[in-house]
Amino acid sequence: MVNKRKSLPPSLTIKLGKWVWTTLWQIMMSRLAPRNNSGEYIRPASLFRETVSIQTENKYQPATKRYRLFVGLGCPWAHRTLVVRALKGLEDVISITIASPAGDKGIWVFENEQEGCQTLPELYKLGQPGYNGRATVPVLWDEQTKTIVNNESADIIVILNAEFNQFAKNPDIDLYPEELKAKIDEWNEKIYHTVNNGVYRCGFAQSQEAYEKACRELFTTLDEIDNTLSKSRYLCGESVTLADVRLFTTLFRFDVVYYGLFKCNLRRIKDYKYLSVYLQDLYQLPGIADTCNLEAVKQDYYGNLFPLNPGGIIPLTPDITEVIS
C-alpha cells in the first residue's frame, strides 16, 4: 500500500522550525541574559559588598587562612581574583575552591562538598538564609562566620591588593597606588562598559541594533587601548595596575571565545600590534600563567551556553603559546 501522506513543503518546514527555535531562544536568553526594551544585555548588580579591613569596627578582619575564594576557571570575573592573589603572593593566605558550571541546571557545583554544600546556591543560602537571588562567582567567603564577604570581583581585587600585605609574599607590589587611582578608575569605567561587559553585550544582544552598538563601542575602545600601549608598557604607565588585571582576563578569552561565539569578529587581539604584545607580557608575569586554563574556558563557554551553541561542540583551537603571542 502506497503512503499518500504528503510531507510539509520545505518553505513551511523552515518557517515552522525558525519560529519554534526563535521562540525557545528568546525564552532561554531572557533567563540567561536580562535585557532592556532595545534588546541590550543588562548585567545584574552584585549584592554582597562588604570589605575586609583592619579598622576595629569592621567585622571582617585581615587574617591568614580565614578567607576562601570560590571561583570558576572559565569565568573572567573570577579569574581577576586569581591573578591578584598570584601577583600579591597570597596563595598561602587565601584558600581556593573551584566551582564548575552544570549546564543542564544553570548553576555552579563543587566537586567536593564545601561547608556541607554541593552547589553554589546552597552556599549562598548558608551565608544568608532565605536568599533566592543569583549565585555567581567569585565569592570571598569568611570561614569563621560562615558568611559571604563580597561577590563583586572589582571589590575583591581591591581587598586582595591592600588588606593582606602583612601576610603577602609580595607586599610591596601595589596594583592600586594612590597617585594613579584617578587614572585607573577612568580606565576601569570605560573598559568595564565597552570591553569586559562589552563582549557580553555583543554575545547576549537580542536585537541587531543592540549588537551593532555594543560591537562598535568594543572595538573603538580596543583601538584606543592599542594606541595607548604604543606609548607605554601598561595602561597607566610602566607598572602593572588593577586596570591591566581587569583587562587581561577578557583579552585572554577574546580570540578563542568572544571573537567567534560572541560575534566580536571585527578583529582579533592577535591582529593588534601593541595589544597582542601587551597580552603576552601580562601572561608572562610571575604566577599569571598558572591562573590561565584555556581548556576550562572553552568548555565553560561552548559547552554550557546552550542558546549560543546549541550543538555543544567544543572547537579545536591553537596551543596556548600561539593564542598568547
Residues with catalytic function: 75, 200
- The backbone region for 128, taken as left when phi is positive above 0, alpha when psi lies in -120 to 50, beta otherwise, is beta
Cβ atoms within 10 Å, residue 175: 22
Element at 80 (helix H, strand E): helix 76-88
Q: How far apart are CA 209 and CA 37, in angstroms?
A: 12
What residues form DSSP beta bridges with 256?
Answer: none
- Cell readout for 133 is 537571588
- Please state, in angstroms and rounded to a whole number, the distance separating the CA atoms of residues 172 and 178: 14
For cell 563543587, name the residue. Answer: 110
Q: What secondary structure does DSSP assign to 137-182, as a single string?
A: S-EEEETTTTEEEE--HHHHHHHHHHTTTTT-S-TT--SS-GGGHH
Integer Cα distance of 325 and 322 in angstroms: 5
Locate cell 532592556: which residue? 36
**Beta carbons within 10 angstroms of residue 45's beta carbon:** 8
Radius of gyration, CA atoms only, the chain: 22
Q: Are strands 147-150 and 95-102 parallel, antiparallel or unpaired?
A: unpaired
Residue 95's DSSP bridge partners are 68
